Amino acid sequence: MPREIRFNAFEMNCVVHQSPGLWRHPRDRSRDYRKLQSWVALARTLERGLFDGIFLADVLGVYDVFGGSAQSALAHATQVPVNDPLLLVPAMAAATEHLGFGVTVTLSYEPPLPFARRMSTLDHLTDGRIGWNVVTGYLDSAARGMGEVGQRRHDDRYAAAEDYMAVVYKLWEGSWADDAVVADTATGVFTNPDRVRRVSHEGTHYRLDAVHLSEPSPQRTPVLYQAGTSPAGRAFAGRHAECVFMSGPSVQVITPRGASIRAAARDAGRDPTAILIFALMTIIVAPSDAEAKALLDDYRGYADHEGALTLMSGWTGVDFSTLDLDSIVQHVENDAGRSALDNITRADPSRTWTVRDVAEHVAIGGIGPLIVGSPATVADELERWMETTDLNGFNLAFAVRPETFDAVVDLLVPELQRRGRYKTAYAPGTLRNKLFGHDRLDETHPAASVRWL
Ligand SMILES: Cc1cc2nc3c(=O)[nH]c(=O)nc-3n(C[C@H](O)[C@H](O)[C@H](O)COP(=O)(O)O)c2cc1C
């Protein structure tokens, strides 16, 4: 049986997510990011297309690496203005029954207790369809906005994340017993105090002495997503992640990363095949190859190359404004994200990238591959990716909003279903149940060890 192909939509509560300049396209509706109805409509479209989820990215700072200021980011709207992703979820959940919500929240700037309560709240309100993309941030501007001088060192961010996870697991899994809420109208006891316990934590980065404020929610711990593939990132994913998002331009870059994530899960005593791995991709699909190609040519007319380099500078910590457009991008080590620069330097030694190549590539859909063609052509290419990479699916970026997703749902999904490569109905229940067949994290996961049995 060939492996099922899964889709997530890669979105962000802003104008320019991964395709700078495309907001100017006459059919693009990106400015409607401020309108709840645009998110509700998108959620319905994605559910019609049986997407596993909508994955909402987030940053808490501006992309001010390019040119050393926020000027370019503001002018080109590269991930600024950006609104809070979590506030979109209840409206989208009310309009759908099955779609999952993988929301990015950085753990670097918020104490565990209020964050844990917010996720429990959303797990209740979505009937167990909330997921958390665990990030620590990569922008110094975000750290400065929080009153710090700069971000923590790269590997120390992962060490802090390890401690943060230990705290939130105790809150989600260990503070309230399953039978704590009795709601006994005869005795007047709502919660049995003997079945709720304080969490005490004295860790390397966090301390806490508290009772979790929410009663047990359907999944307890939200479905855990992770997206870093540096050595420290892989080790973290191996221990904690249930789904991993990767970005890279080719199968050559993605394949070893997927293998290394599965190896890290094996090292952590978990089932490596149970981790779902999604690669970033942008799909331009139209009824025929010629129409898809024409669509791409049309889109390219709106691509904003400075915006692309502004994004890339933020992701990599390298100021691309100082580099000659025809120079070859070199690897450097710094405290921004590591995989982003690896993608265009050492991850695939057979390919070099000039700054111009980067600007042109990243302007449509970011650093992931761009697949263009008829439903049959695109489906062939996705099958080739699946056969060579050991992936579980794709995290789809958009060029024109919501046109890119409409086309995938209306044209590509039926083709994949005809080939038996895509589900024809959702599984029931919580997001974790749909993805893995159980509501709670399994016994091999570190969260299970703090459970109140
Ligand atoms: C597809 C994808 C989406 C990501 N989304 C976010 C995000 O929304 N916010 C964020 O702060 N980091 C995001 N990241 C960055 C990662 O969390 C991580 O910081 C980055 O990949 C660097 O980690 P590494 O050095 O371990 O590779 C994303 C990464 C990838 C590949």
Contact 164, 172 (CB under 8 A): no
Name the H helices within 285-422.
289-300, 305-316, 339-343, 355-362, 375-389, 403-407, 413-418
The residue whose CA is least distant from atom 7 of ligand 1 is 57
- Residue 81, preceding peptide bond in cis (omega within 30° of 0): yes
3-state DSSP assignment of residue 354:
strand
- In the reported structure, the alpha carbon of residue 135 is separated from the centroid of ligand 1 by a whole-number distance in angstroms of 6
| pLDDT above 90: percentage of residues in the chain | 91
- In the reported structure, the alpha carbon of residue 58 is separated from the centroid of ligand 1 by a whole-number distance in angstroms of 10
Would you give the DSSP letter of residue 281? E
The residue whose CA is least distant from atom 9 of ligand 1 is 58
The closest-lying atom of ligand 1 relative to the alpha carbon of residue 135 is: 17
φ and ψ of 284, to 5 deg: -110, 105
Could you tell me which residues come within 8 angstroms of residue 75 by beta carbon, excluding any fewer than 6 positions away? none
- In the reported structure, the alpha carbon of residue 233 is separated from the centroid of ligand 1 by a whole-number distance in angstroms of 10
The closest-lying atom of ligand 1 relative to the alpha carbon of residue 368 is: 1
Q: Sign (positive/negative) of CA torsion 44, 46, 50, 52?
A: negative
What CATH number matches the domain at 6-306+366-450, 3.40.1190.20, 3.20.20.30, 3.40.50.1000, 1.10.540.10?
Answer: 3.20.20.30
The closest-lying atom of ligand 1 relative to the alpha carbon of residue 60 is: 11
> What pLDDT is stored for residue 403 in this prediction?
98
Helix H or strand E encompassing 137: none
Name the residue ranges covered by the structural domains of the chain. 6-306+366-450
End-to-end CA distance of the chain: 38
> What pLDDT is stored for residue 332 in this prediction?
87
- Residue 369, preceding peptide bond in cis (omega within 30° of 0): no
- Residue 218, preceding peptide bond in cis (omega within 30° of 0): no
Q: Which of 37-41, 43-47, 329-333 has the lowest mean pLDDT?
A: 329-333
In order of 62, 154, 171, the CA distances from 180 in angstroms are 44, 40, 14
pLDDT surpassing 90 at residue 291: yes
The closest-lying atom of ligand 1 relative to the alpha carbon of residue 280 is: 1
Mean pLDDT for 74-78 is: 98
pLDDT surpassing 90 at residue 337: no
Mutation test residue for ligand 1: of 135, 139, 254, the one with most atoms within 8 Å of CB: 135
pLDDT surpassing 80 at residue 453: no
Ligand 1, CB cutoff 6 Å, lining residues: 57-59, 104, 106, 135, 137-138, 227-230, 232-233, 245-247, 280, 337-339, 395
> What pLDDT is stored for residue 116 in this prediction?
98
pLDDT surpassing 90 at residue 319: yes
> What pLDDT is stored for residue 191 in this prediction?
98
Q: For residue 65, give the nearest of 345, 323, 248 by alpha carbon.
A: 323
Mean pLDDT, the chain, rounded, equals 96
* Residue 452 banded pLDDT, cuts 50, 70, 90: confident
pLDDT digits 0-9 by tens, 394-404 = 999 999 999 99
> What pLDDT is stored for residue 316 in this prediction?
93
- In the reported structure, the alpha carbon of residue 300 is separated from the centroid of ligand 1 by a whole-number distance in angstroms of 26
Mutation test residue for ligand 1: of 60, 79, 105, 138, the one with most atoms within 8 Å of CB: 138
Mean pLDDT for 25-38 is: 98
pLDDT surpassing 90 at residue 229: no
